[in-house]
Amino acid sequence: MNRKTILLGLFGAFLFSSLGYAEPITIATTEAIEQVETVYVAEPPPAAKAETKPPTPGPKAVWIGGHWKWQVNKYVWIAGHWTKSPQGSWVPGHWQKRPRGYVWVAGHWTKISPSLHKNWVKGHWVRHKGTRVWVAGHWKP
C-alpha cells in the first residue's frame, strides 16, 4: 500500500466521521520495507590483509576471507571466519568503483556448482585507460 492510498483513506475516514455519516474508525497498516542505504566512499580500500586460517572445524566448513568495511569515516578490517557450507559455492564480496565512489558488494552463496576443472579467481583491481577498474571474482578453466 503506498503513501497516497493511506493518506486518501485517512482523509476519507476523517471526512465521513466529521459529517456524522459514520463512526470514527482507526486505520492501521503494517508493511515490511527493506531499506538499504548505499554508501559511496571516495578513496579505494587498502590492500587485503594476509590472514592465517585456523584449522578447519569440519569437512563442510568454508573459509570466508576477511575484508575492509567502511565505518563512519575509515576502513576497518573484518577478519575472515569459517562457516558451515550450504549447497553451493561462496562468491566473495568486493569493493566496486562507480562514478560516485567505491561501493561494497556483499558476498553471497550461489547454487551453481562449478566444474572440478575450474579455479576461483579472486576479484582484483587492474589499470585500464588511466583508471583503476575492479574485476569481480569468477570461475576460470
pLDDT above 70: residue 1: no
28: left (phi over 0), alpha (psi -120 to 50) or beta: beta
HSE-CB at 84 with a 13 A cutoff on CA atoms is: 1
The predicted-structure confidence for 5-44, as pLDDT tens digits, reads as follows 444 454 454 444 444 444 444 343 344 444 557 889 999 9
pLDDT above 60: residue 47: yes
CA distances from 45 to 25, 63, 69, 136 (A): 54, 21, 8, 15
CA quadruple 39, 41, 42, 44: dihedral, nearest 10: -150
**Higher pLDDT pick, 134 / 3:** 134
Q: Which range among 5-9, 55-59, 129-133 shows the weakest confidence by mean pLDDT?
A: 5-9
SS3 101: strand
Report yes or no: 92 and 65 within 8 Å, Cβ to Cβ: yes
Q: Which of 48-62, 85-99, 103-117, 122-136 has the highest mean pLDDT?
A: 48-62
Strand 81-84 relative to strand 119-121, pairing: unpaired
Q: Sign of dihedral through CA atoms 113, 118, 119, 121? A: negative
Look at residue 32 in the predicted model and tell me its pLDDT. 46
> Under 8 Å CB-to-CB from 138, ≥6 apart: which residues?
120, 121
pTM of the model: 0.53
Look at residue 115 in the predicted model and tell me its pLDDT. 57
Alpha carbon distance 117, 31 (integer Å): 47
pLDDT above 50: residue 58: yes
The predicted-structure confidence for 63-107, as pLDDT tens digits, reads as follows 999 999 999 899 999 999 999 877 678 889 999 999 999 999 988
